[in-house]
């Protein structure tokens, strides 16, 4: 992969633009809501309370209410110091990616299973840490100093048909999991140049995975993708151009994108720093 060039050749242009607040032009937003995709930029976030949570506000990015029929939700939870989480809907898993601040998580299998099983507690989770809470596991997220979380939730789809056959009898169910993005290896991406990490195991009990994709400036998706899978994306670092259907968008860190099944999708990283995004992809289930 190409090396990231160091000091920006555009420093003079950046200096000239310093203080220009394009996002705060009255009535102007880069956000766009279309039939098969949405771009939701930071100036469009609307915060609300979050049922069952304490000292927390949320901005919902993706919900099943959107056009294109997402089967998951994606939101930002802003936890104030001392905040704590509530539970998701029954049958729904929750995936948490720490954007900022520090949290503790506890997945209490004793409460879920009526005793006997181990419970897990992890402290000091910061940017890049993630946690997966299986459906119907009692769990708690707490913070003493405050945190900003990116959260995905989806009704769990158990294996059936050929997937169930492949797993065999007594299939395992997804387990509680905590990790850090940068502890994971890059996975081979034949024909593509971006770096790829998968945050969840690739075994068949999981109905989803979270990909973290890294591009150096000038790198781009080779495949002009069209596929049945849906995506919820947050650009974590960098900037570039995202093609969605027949539209082309200037995007930067903090932007969220919903991609419905079959929307044409292509990204090129620009600027002079790495682009990194996290993206939900449904997987391991027959699309029928
Ligand atoms: O795996 C994917 O579908 C991924 N490469 N899509 C994307 O980045 N838009
Ligand atoms: Mn894709």
Q: Which of 187, 211, 230, 242 is the best mutation target for the ligand 1 pocket, counting ligand atoms within 8 Å of the beta carbon and taking the most?
A: 211
Residues lining ligand 1, Cβ inside 6 A: 211, 213, 221, 225, 229, 231, 265, 279, 281
pLDDT for the residue numbered 115: 46
pLDDT for the residue numbered 286: 95
pLDDT for the residue numbered 171: 84
- Write out pLDDT tens, residues 219-233: 999 999 999 999 999
Q: What distance in angstroms lies between residue 264's CA and the mean position of ligand 2's atoms?
A: 9
Q: What distance in angstroms lies between residue 235's CA and the mean position of ligand 1's atoms?
A: 13
At a CB cut-off of 8 Å and minimum separation 6, what does 131 contact?
95, 96, 105, 107, 122, 125, 141, 176, 177, 178
Q: What distance in angstroms lies between residue 147's CA and the mean position of ligand 1's atoms?
A: 28
Domain ranges of the chain: 11-282
Q: Which of 188, 209, 230, 231 is the best mutation target for the ligand 1 pocket, counting ligand atoms within 8 Å of the beta carbon and taking the most?
A: 231
- Write out pLDDT tens, residues 182-204: 999 999 999 999 999 999 999 99
**Strands (E) located in 69-194:** 72-84, 92-101, 103-108, 119-125, 129-133, 139-142, 147-155, 177-180
How confident is the prediction along the chain (288 residues), in pLDDT tens digits per residue? 556 656 666 777 777 777 776 657 889 999 999 999 999 999 999 999 999 999 999 999 999 999 989 999 999 999 999 999 999 999 999 999 999 999 999 998 655 555 444 568 999 999 999 999 999 999 999 999 999 999 999 999 999 999 999 999 888 899 999 999 999 999 999 999 999 999 999 999 999 999 999 999 999 999 999 999 999 999 999 999 999 999 999 999 999 999 999 999 999 999 999 999 999 999 999 999
Q: How far apart are CA 229 and CA 269, in angstroms?
A: 22
The whole model's pTM is what?
Answer: 0.93
pLDDT for the residue numbered 116: 45
User: In CATH, what number does 11-282 get?
Assistant: 2.60.120.10
pLDDT for the residue numbered 16: 78
Chain-centroid distance of CA 269 in Å reads: 18
Q: Which of 279, 280, 282, 284 is the best mutation target for the ligand 1 pocket, counting ligand atoms within 8 Å of the beta carbon and taking the most?
A: 279
Q: How far apart are CA 191 and CA 75, in angstroms?
A: 32
Helix (H/G/I), strand (E/B), else coil: 14:
helix
């Amino acid at each position: 992969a190409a090396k990231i060039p160091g000091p920006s050749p555009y420093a003079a242009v950046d200096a000239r633009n310093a203080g220009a607040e394009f996002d705060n032009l009255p009535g102007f937003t880069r956000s766009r809501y279309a039939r098969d995709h949405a771009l939701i930029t930071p100036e469009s976030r609307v915060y609300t309370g979050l049922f069952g949570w304490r000292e927390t506000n949320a901005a919902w990015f993706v919900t099943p209410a959107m056009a294109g029929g997402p089967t998951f939700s994606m939101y930002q939870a802003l936890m104030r110091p001392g905040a704590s989480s509530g539970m998701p809907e029954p049958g729904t898993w929750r995936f948490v990616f720490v954007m900022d601040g520090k949290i503790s998580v506890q997945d209490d299998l004793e409460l879920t299973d009526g005793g006997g099983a181990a419970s897990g507690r992890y402290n000091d989770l910061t940017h890049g840490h993630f946690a997966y809470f299986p459906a119907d596991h009692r769990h708690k997220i707490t913070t003493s100093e405050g945190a900003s979380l990116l959260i995905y939730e989806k009704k769990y789809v158990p294996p059936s048909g050929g997937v169930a056959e492949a797993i065999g009898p007594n299939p395992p169910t997804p387990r509680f999991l905590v990790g850090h993005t940068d502890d994971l290896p890059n996975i081979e991406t034949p024909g593509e140049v971006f770096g790829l990490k998968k945050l969840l195991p690739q075994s068949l009990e999981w109905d989803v995975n979270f990909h973290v994709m890294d591009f150096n400036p000038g790198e781009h998706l080779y495949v002009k993708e069209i596929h049945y899978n849906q995506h919820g994306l947050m650009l974590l670092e960098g900037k570039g151009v995202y093609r969605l259907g027949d539209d082309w968008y200037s995007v930067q860190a903090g932007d969220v994108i919903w991609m419905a099944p079959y929307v044409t999708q292509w990204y090129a990283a620009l600027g002079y720093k790495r682009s990194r995004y996290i993206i939900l992809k449904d997987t391991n289930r027959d699309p029928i």
